[in-house]
Structure 1
Amino acid sequence: MSQAQKGICAEPNLHALYLTFTVVDDEVQAMRAKLAHVLDLFNHFDEEYYEAMVSGVIAIGTEYWYELYPRLIPQEMAPFPSMQCEDRGAPITPGDLFIQIKADRTDICHAIGTEVIQLLKPHVDLYEEISGFRYLDGRDLTGFVDGTENPKGMRKFAVAIVGDQDQEFAGGSYIHVQRYRHLMTKWQLLAVHNQEEIFGRSKADNIEFDSDKKAQFAHTKRTNLKDADGKSVEILRQSMPYGNMTVQGLYFISCASSPKPFTDMLRSMIFGDEQGEYDKLLDYTVAETGCAYFAPSINFIKQQAKE
């Protein structure tokens, strides 16, 4: 059975390092081998510093995938779904390779990141480096608890990991990444009850409003979708806050067994319902990056490194 990468369904950590690369060298087999070595790095640090709860994810951009593994394509591989409606948008930005590093020690994240970059040179350029952190009791910098709708227990594996529907890529996951910058000054001018109306849940104790009491523009209304059979459309979020005293935001990561749930949620947020009721939270946060990836199983990465 194919083994999923540990970081896809890992429990929340205190720290994260997100590295986005563009590939500048066409030595495909060398890159395949190096990705297998990155997995070895994750294992080494996980064993050496077990108390830090180390986990990692290697994900390949959908465009670069066709160069790296041209003979093997996941069934639902698709580019990032760029969208624009009025002043709300989801841009596409460069990303051939995405490395997520998470641990309960920031020094371990740094140490792993340093070794990953040294290993991947000279085949890649570092496009973006973002450090994430746990904020208070798992809250976004808006003050609301993040990831409340995440599936729990074994359910998250069913949601996030490809199963038998695509056996060659079982154990993999479709990853979508967006870095949101919050308009904090604008947000903080709102009264708490207005903020709660935008989220559709209480701020202090994280209690979701009854469906009939939510505004149609509420974030939880626009992201809580049903499919044609009436089942909830789900993703597993591995997001974390990031920032400093000048810029703050959310590094959003969606993991799913299909790219469709993320695309449907994003469309609902940006375009809204038939009456045009979009996600009002987008008036207070802006997506500045967007990229689609596939994170194959450990077995796949190691096998392709040998061929």
Structure 2
Amino acid sequence: MTQAQKGICAEPNLHALYLTLIVIDDDAVTMRKKIAQVLALFSHYDEEYYEAMVSGIVAVGTDYWYELYPRSIPQELAPFPIMNSDDRSAPATPGDLFIQIKADRVDICHAIGTRIIELLRPHIDLFEEVKGFRYLDGRDLTGFVDGTENPKGMQKFNVALVGDQDLEFAGGSYIHVQRYRHNMEKWQQLSVATQEETYGRTKADNVEFKSTDKAPFSHTKRTSLKDKDGKSIEILRQSMPYGDMTIQGLYFVSCAKSPQPFTNMLKSMVYGDGEGNYDRLLDFTNAETGGAFFAPSINFIKQQAKE
């Protein structure tokens, strides 16, 4: 049976470490083996520190995929969908490998990250590392609960994982990442009522407004989309806040069985509905990075490491 990487559909944790890596050599055979060893590191720390609820994801950038696994290509593999409109943008930034480490202990995240960098260092440069953390009761630093729209129960597996439509890559997931930087000073100047109108839900108790009461520019309106059959277009988010006393933001991670849901949502946010109604939350936060990756199943990674 195909086994998905644990971190794709894992429950929320207290801490995260997000690593974006650039591969600097062309030794694909060695890299295939070392990626399998990264999975072994996740398993080791998960067993050794089971109370920390360790999980991880190793995902391959769409450009680097053709070098690493040239004989097997996911059907919908595609680059990051760059978008620009007025002062809103969704840029693409370098990234050959994306590694997500999550645990309920920050020291375990650090230990795993250190081991992974030691393992891969001859072959990679570290483009970016971001430390995520759970804020209050699962809120973004804007004060609103994050991930409310996430599918629940078995539905999250249906949303996040490739199925029978691409059998060789069943259990895999299309991963999109963006690091958003918030303008907290500008945001905090808004009244709570205006903040709630911007999100489309209440701040204190996280009650979503009725559809008829939502402003067309609200975040929930622009991200709650339907397909041509009237079914909800869903993604599974593995996002977390990050920051210090100077810089604050959200590290956004989307997991889905196709890249289209993320692309459709991003278009709705950046370009809007054609009547000037873009996602007004983008007036207060800016995407500084963007990457498209594919996280294959554990079975695929281990099999490719033997070839």
Taking structure 2 as the reference length, the TM-score comes to 1.00
State the alpha-carbon separation in 2 of the partners of residues 180 and 274 from structure 1. 24
Deviation at 1:121, TM superposition (A): 1.5
List alignment gaps of at least 5 residues for structure 1.
none
Deviation at 1:172, TM superposition (A): 0.1
Q: Partner letter of residue 95 of structure 2? A: G
Question: What's the secondary structure of 1:6's corresponding residue?
Answer: coil
State the alpha-carbon separation in 1 of the partners of residues 252 and 115 from structure 2. 24
State the alpha-carbon separation in 2 of the partners of residues 196 and 122 from structure 1. 48
Q: Residue 65 of structure 1 aligns with which residue?
A: 65
Question: What's the secondary structure of 1:122's corresponding residue?
Answer: helix
Runs of 4+ aligned residues of structure 1 deviating over 3 Å after TM superposition are: none
Q: Residue 226 of structure 1 aligns with which residue?
A: 226
State the alpha-carbon separation in 2 of the partners of residues 148 and 166 from structure 1. 29
State the alpha-carbon separation in 1 of the partners of residues 79 and 276 from structure 2. 26
Q: Partner letter of residue 299 of structure 2? A: N
State the alpha-carbon separation in 2 of the partners of residues 255 and 187 from structure 1. 28
Q: Residue 250 of structure 2 aligns with which residue?
A: 250
Deviation at 1:151, TM superposition (A): 0.1
Q: Residue 197 of structure 1 aligns with which residue?
A: 197
Taking structure 1 as the reference length, the TM-score comes to 1.00
How many residues are paired up?
Answer: 307
Aligned pairs for 1:111-130 (under 5 A) are 111-130=111-130
Deviation at 1:77, TM superposition (A): 0.3
Question: What's the secondary structure of 2:294's corresponding residue?
Answer: strand
RMSD (Å), alpha carbons: 0.3
Deviation at 1:16, TM superposition (A): 0.2
Which whole-Å deviations, capped at 9, do the CAs of 1:74-125 have from their partners, x for residues lacking one?
0000000000000000000000000000000000000000000000021000
Between the two proteins, what is the percent identity of the paired residues? 76
Deviation at 1:276, TM superposition (A): 1.9
State the alpha-carbon separation in 2 of the partners of residues 276 and 21 from structure 1. 37
- Give yes or no for the alignment of 1:274 onto 2:274: yes
Aligned pairs for 1:171-186 (under 5 A) are 171-186=171-186
- Give yes or no for the alignment of 1:290 onto 2:297: no
Question: What's the secondary structure of 2:99's corresponding residue?
Answer: strand
Q: Residue 216 of structure 1 aligns with which residue?
A: 216
Q: Partner letter of residue 305 of structure 1? A: A
Q: Residue 46 of structure 2 aligns with which residue?
A: 46
Which whole-Å deviations, capped at 9, do the CAs of 1:188-238 have from their partners, x for residues lacking one?
000000000000000000000000000000000000000000000000000
Question: What's the secondary structure of 1:47's corresponding residue?
Answer: helix
State the alpha-carbon separation in 1 of the partners of residues 95 and 192 from structure 2. 37
Q: Residue 55 of structure 1 aligns with which residue?
A: 55
Q: Partner letter of residue 251 of structure 1? A: Y
Q: Partner letter of residue 288 of structure 2? A: E
Deviation at 1:274, TM superposition (A): 2.4
